[in-house]
């Protein structure tokens, strides 16, 4: 089945529109599929979000978007690609997704921030998509234990926003929550 979903673009959309587009995404019910483990997929997701198969980058963005829809995090923290018929391990160096862009509306406690992901999806930073620091690496919850790292330019944009607010510790508000940008 070819990937037919267009990536969600932040530009030109209000946060309400981005939230609606993200909500309308239909993902396969991978959480309910329990096929036998069939081995390793010979795939890995590099720290920068590049997907590889047998050591070669997967160059077709639509293929990566399709694979991202059947990705699942197991209770032991490992990652698998799962279909109703098989489950294959995939190596993930940091996080399976990367935040590639951000936009926001409002300010201070009233701010809402949306992130675009390299998978073509988008999330709104808030109660359902928390931002945490793993050491000094910022990660945002995407779905079902899957996370996205922030690309360096996005992190710098977020840090600049945090510093302009003047909170101590530096951080940002989004979705009614405060997200500190320094390790606790």
Is there a domain that residue 5 lies in? no
The answer to the question of residue 109 being in a domain is no
Which CATH number is 38's domain given?
3.10.540.10
Residue 47 belongs to a domain: yes
pLDDT score at 100: 95
Distance CA 81, CA 43 (A): 10
pLDDT given for residue 21 in this prediction = 78
> Domain of 65?
27-92
Q: Looking at the domain assignment, is residue 67 inside a domain?
A: yes
Number of domains composing the chain: 1
Looking at residue 7, its pLDDT comes to: 78
**Per-residue model confidence as pLDDT tens for the chain (184 residues):** 455 667 777 787 787 888 787 887 788 899 999 999 999 999 999 999 999 999 999 999 889 989 999 999 999 999 999 999 999 999 999 999 999 999 999 988 999 999 999 999 999 999 999 999 988 889 999 999 999 999 999 999 999 999 998 888 899 999 999 999 887 6
Whether 45 maps to a domain, the answer reads yes
Q: Return the biggest CA–CA distance within the chain.
A: 52
Asked if the structure places residue 36 within a domain, the reply is yes
The answer as to whether 59 is a domain residue is yes
Residue 60 domain flag:
yes
């Amino acid at each position: 089945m070819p990937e037919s979903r267009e990536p969600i673009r932040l530009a030109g959309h209000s946060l309400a529109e981005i939230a609606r587009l993200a909500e309308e995404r239909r993902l396969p019910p991978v959480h309910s599929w329990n096929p036998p483990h069939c081995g390793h997929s010979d795939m890995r997701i590099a720290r920068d979000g590049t997907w590889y198969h047998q050591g070669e980058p997967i160059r077709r963005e639509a293929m990566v978007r399709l694979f991202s829809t059947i990705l699942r995090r197991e209770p032991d923290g490992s990652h698998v690609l799962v279909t109703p018929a098989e489950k294959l391990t995939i190596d993930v160096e940091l996080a399976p997704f990367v935040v590639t862009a951000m936009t926001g509306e409002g300010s201070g406690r009233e701010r809402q921030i949306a992130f675009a992901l390299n998978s073509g999806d988008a999330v709104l930073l808030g109660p359902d998509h928390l931002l945490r620091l793993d050491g000094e690496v910022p990660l945002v919850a995407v779905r079902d234990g899957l996370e996205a790292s922030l690309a360096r330019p996005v992190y710098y944009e977020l840090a600049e926003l945090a510093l302009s607010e003047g909170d101590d510790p530096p951080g940002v508000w989004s979705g009614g929550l405060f997200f500190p940008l320094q390790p606790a």
